[in-house]
Structure 1
Amino acid sequence: MDNNVRISSSSTDNMLYLAIIVGLIGISLAACPAKWQHHGSSCYLLSTDELDWTTAREYDGGYLAELETKDESDYIETFAKQIDFWLGGRDEVEGHWKWVTSGKNFTYTDWHPGEPNDLNHDEDCLHLYGPHGYQWNDFRCSALQNYICEAGKLSVIFYLHFIKNISSSYYLRKSIKSTSSFLIGGSLAACPAKWLHHGSSCYYISTDELDWSTARDICQEYEGGYLAEVETKDESDYLETVTLTTHRGFWLGGKDEVEGHWKWMTSGKDFTYTDWSPNEPNDLNHNEDCLHLFQARSQHWNDIDCSIKQNYICETR
Structure 2
Amino acid sequence: MKQKKPENGSVVDITPSLHLQKFGNTYYYFGTTFKGNYFQALQFCNLHGMSLLSVESEEEIGGTDRRFWTSGTIFPDDTHWVWLTTGKPITYTNWLPKQPDNTGRNEKCLELRYGSNLMWNDAPWNTANLVICEIDVTKENSNILTGVTNCNLTVINIPSE
TM-score range, shorter chain: 0.7 to 0.9
Identity %: 28
Higher relative contact order (CA 8 A, sep 6+): 2
Distance 2:99 2:121 in 1: 6
Distance 1:122 1:98 in 2: 16
Alignment of 1:123-162 (within 5 A): 123-130=107-114, 134-152=118-136, 154-156=137-139
Deviations 1:125-145 (A, max 9, x none): 000111685200000011111
Cross-structure match for 1:56 = 41
* Structure with a larger share of its residues in helix: 1
Letter in 1 for 2:142: S
1:38–1:133 distance in 2 versus 1, CA, 3 Å: closer
Q: Which has the larger radius of gyration?
A: 1
Mark the runs of 5 or more structure 1 residues left unpaired by the alignment.
1-32, 157-177, 200-233, 235-317
TM-score norm. by structure 2 comes to: 0.74
1:96–1:132 distance in 2 versus 1, CA, 3 Å: farther
Distance 2:18 2:124 in 1: 31
Alignment of 1:99-118 (within 5 A): 99-118=83-102
Distance 1:134 1:98 in 2: 18
Alignment of 1:1-317 (within 5 A): 34-47=18-31, 48-59=33-44, 60=47, 61-72=49-60, 76-78=61-63, 80=64, 82-93=65-76, 94-130=78-114, 134-152=118-136, 154-156=137-139, 178-181=140-143, 191=150, 196-199=151-154
SS at match of 1:36: strand
Distance 2:42 2:145 in 1: 30
Shift of 1:92: 2.8
Distance 1:183 1:62 in 2: 12
Distance 2:98 2:51 in 1: 27
Distance 1:34 1:182 in 2: 12
Q: Is the 8 A contact 2:26 2:134 kept in 1?
A: yes
Distance 1:41 1:118 in 2: 34
TM-score norm. by structure 1 comes to: 0.39
Runs of 4+ off more than 3 Å = none
Distance 1:112 1:140 in 2: 16
SS at match of 1:105: coil
Mark the runs of 5 or more structure 2 residues left unpaired by the alignment.
1-16, 156-161
Q: Is the 8 A contact 1:90 1:124 kept in 2?
A: yes
SS at match of 1:35: strand
1:49–1:96 distance in 2 versus 1, CA, 3 Å: same
Shift of 1:77: 2.6
Distance 2:18 2:80 in 1: 36
**How many equivalent pairs are there?**
134
